[in-house]
Amino acid sequence: MTAPRRDTYTPETLLSVAVAVFNERGYDGTSMEHLSKAAGISKSSIYHHVAGKEELLRRAVSRALDGLFAVLDEPGATHGPALARVEHVTRRMVEVLTAELPYVTLLLRVRGNTRTERWAMERRREFDQRVAELLKAAVADGDLRADVDTRLATRLVFGMVNSLVEWYRPQAGGGYDSTQVADAVVRLAFDGLRVPGARD
Amino acid sequence: MTAPRRDTYTPETLLSVAVAVFNERGYDGTSMEHLSKAAGISKSSIYHHVAGKEELLRRAVSRALDGLFAVLDEPGATHGPALARVEHVTRRMVEVLTAELPYVTLLLRVRGNTRTERWAMERRREFDQRVAELLKAAVADGDLRADVDTRLATRLVFGMVNSLVEWYRPQAGGGYDSTQVADAVVRLAFDGLRVPGARD
């Protein structure tokens, strides 16, 4: 990580440095001293921008959450049959996750010790709940199978999508782009890997 | 966690205590002092059983790895068409994971700082590779779709299965049993959630 020049520091560059440090050391294991060293600016310069590390955490997870919740307001998520809406949301979740990888990684690793962490976990549950409702509506329409419990299906789809933070690295050699991964996730989750009619 | 009576201590009970502590504090963050406190026995009693914490780590991840690799030698994994074999392995992976939850959790969290950790990561990659080969064989048979990259499909199936360590808790209220989860994973991965012929 290269430290930007002091006079070019903005809240955004500070945020991106902080997120990298939080993801590496864990939020609990990060001190203002660590942030100051990683950013190459003094602690008092950091305090000029934010009240403390919890504010940086709040801004970082907000960025991930805002990206995810915005998907639910897109026309593809609000119009048409529930099945098409849930497919749209699944695809866009992957795209937000790959575009905002460090921010979503931090969001998914948050465990509730501080108020901000508990708030982030609550918002995540709210998002998961909204997606579960879409899945449920598609089952009610007869478009998604009723023989897989909806809550369990939601967990598994999120498990698959969220696992991207463990291995997806943009532009890595032999890597996949965001669209390839989104296509594969939607294909696997809704149509499965089996060729229709293949022997069992 | 209740400490068993000193005279009933066996390498197995010590291992189960150690795994719980490793999963809670992280392997790096665990000292022999922590293990001694959690087990309710002195450090020298621990050294009577094992050479140190790295031996406990090796035994714990070996238990998870042995369980997983044993699946690959089962008749269901070695006989019949590749598709049936990969479905068998997927189902049994879920069953091993739920049966050996703390051990597999530890295995999946291991990051390579010590020789034992690097060895565990290498064995995990070897297992993933074996499953990827089965998927590839089923694609070659024309039974799995060729329009999803095999390496990517393997990552996503493992992502879905491995996410269980984050939320699956046996016998929790309203929880799922191992068979329900294994059924759902196999159904989702191979047939998808969509009802065949549902509108898109």
From chain A residues 68-97, the ones with a CB under 8 A of any chain B CB are: 81, 83-84, 87
Q: Looking at the structure, do residues A150 and A65 belong to the same domain, yes or no?
A: yes
Buried (b) or exposed (e) across A116-132, using 16+ Cβ within 10 A?
A: bbebbeebbeebbeebb
Give A198 or B33, the one with higher predicted confidence: B33
Q: Please check the confidence at residue A111 and state whether its pLDDT lies above 90.
A: no
Shortest CA gap A182–chain B (Å): 11
Task: Identify the pLDDT of residue A121.
Answer: 96
Q: Looking at the structure, do residues B71 and B151 belong to the same domain, yes or no?
A: yes
Q: Please check the confidence at residue A173 and state whether its pLDDT lies above 60.
A: no
Shortest CA gap A184–chain B (Å): 6
Task: Identify the pLDDT of residue B135.
Answer: 96
| Within a domain: B200 | no
Other residues' Cβ atoms within 10 Å of the Cβ of residue A111:
12
The structural domain count of chain B equals 2
* Whether the Cβ atoms of residue A35 and residue A53 lie closer than 8 Å to each other: yes
Q: Looking at the structure, do residues A65 and A138 belong to the same domain, yes or no?
A: yes
CB-based contact (8 Å) between B7 and chain A?
A: no
Shortest CA gap B84–chain A (Å): 6
Task: Identify the pLDDT of residue B22.
Answer: 96
Query: Domain containing A20: what range?
Result: 6-50
Q: Long-range contacts made by residues A111-120, C-beta under 8 angstroms, separation at least 24?
A: A113/A28, A114/A54, A114/A57, A115/A54, A116/A54, A116/A57, A116/A58, A116/A61, A117/A27, A117/A57, A119/A58, A120/A57, A120/A58, A120/A61, A120/A65
Do B188 and A148 count as a contact with CB atoms less than 8 A apart? Answer: yes
| Within a domain: A30 | yes
**B136: nearest CA in chain A?**
A193
pTM for the predicted model, two decimal places: 0.90
Q: What are phi and psi of B11, to 5 degrees?
A: -55, -30
CB-based contact (8 Å) between A103 and chain B?
A: no
| Within a domain: A200 | no
- pLDDT, tens only, A45-100: 999 889 999 999 999 999 999 999 999 999 999 999 999 999 999 999 999 999 99
| Within a domain: B93 | yes
Task: Identify the pLDDT of residue A150.
Answer: 93
| Within a domain: A199 | no
Task: Identify the pLDDT of residue A194.
Answer: 92
Q: Helix, strand or coil for residue A144?
A: strand
Q: Looking at the structure, do residues A73 and A169 belong to the same domain, yes or no?
A: yes
CB-based contact (8 Å) between B197 and chain A?
A: no
Task: Identify the pLDDT of residue A8.
Answer: 64
Residue B30 backbone zone (phi > 0: left; psi -120 to 50: alpha; other: beta): beta
Place of tokens 């049994």: B92
- Domain with A21 in it: what CATH number? 1.10.10.60
Say what percent of chain A tops pLDDT 70: 94
Give pLDDT tens digits along chain B (200 positions).
Answer: 555 555 567 778 899 999 999 999 999 989 999 999 999 999 999 998 899 999 999 999 999 999 999 999 999 999 999 999 999 999 999 999 999 999 999 999 998 889 999 999 999 999 999 999 999 999 999 999 998 899 999 999 999 999 999 999 887 656 899 999 999 999 999 999 998 877 65
Taking contacts as CB-CB distances below 8 angstroms, the residues of chain A near B164 are 159
Do B166 and A181 count as a contact with CB atoms less than 8 A apart? Answer: no
Q: Looking at the structure, do residues B81 and B175 belong to the same domain, yes or no?
A: yes
Do A160 and B164 count as a contact with CB atoms less than 8 A apart? Answer: no
| Within a domain: A196 | no
- pLDDT, tens only, A7-57: 567 778 899 999 999 999 999 989 999 999 999 999 999 998 899 999 999
| Within a domain: B87 | yes
The total number of residues written for chain B in this structure: 200
* Whether the Cβ atoms of residue A19 and residue A107 lie closer than 8 Å to each other: no
Q: Looking at the structure, do residues A45 and A71 belong to the same domain, yes or no?
A: no
Task: Identify the pLDDT of residue B10.
Answer: 77
Q: Looking at the structure, do residues A144 and A113 belong to the same domain, yes or no?
A: yes
CB-based contact (8 Å) between A172 and chain B?
A: no
The structure tokens listed for B94 are: 């879920």
Q: Looking at the structure, do residues B65 and B158 belong to the same domain, yes or no?
A: yes
Q: Looking at the structure, do residues A176 and A95 belong to the same domain, yes or no?
A: yes
CB-based contact (8 Å) between A5 and chain B?
A: no
Q: Looking at the structure, do residues B30 and B117 belong to the same domain, yes or no?
A: no
Q: Looking at the structure, do residues B100 and B168 belong to the same domain, yes or no?
A: yes
* Whether the Cβ atoms of residue B20 and residue B102 lie closer than 8 Å to each other: yes
For the segment A153-158, the average pLDDT, to the nearest whole number, is 96
Shortest CA gap B190–chain A (Å): 4
- pLDDT, tens only, B147-190: 889 999 999 999 999 999 999 988 765 689 999 999 999 999 99
Say what percent of chain A tops pLDDT 90: 80
The structure tokens listed for B157 are: 């199936």
Q: What share of chain B is helix, strand, coil (3-state, %, to 5)?
A: 70, 0, 30
Task: Identify the pLDDT of residue A1.
Answer: 53
Separation between Cα atoms, residue B69 and residue B144, nearest integer Å: 23
| Within a domain: A101 | yes
The structure tokens listed for B127 are: 């297992």
- Domain with B180 in it: what CATH number? 1.10.357.10
Task: Identify the pLDDT of residue A112.
Answer: 81
Q: Looking at the structure, do residues A110 and A20 belong to the same domain, yes or no?
A: no
Separation between Cα atoms, residue A80 and residue A77, nearest integer Å: 8
Task: Identify the pLDDT of residue B113.
Answer: 83
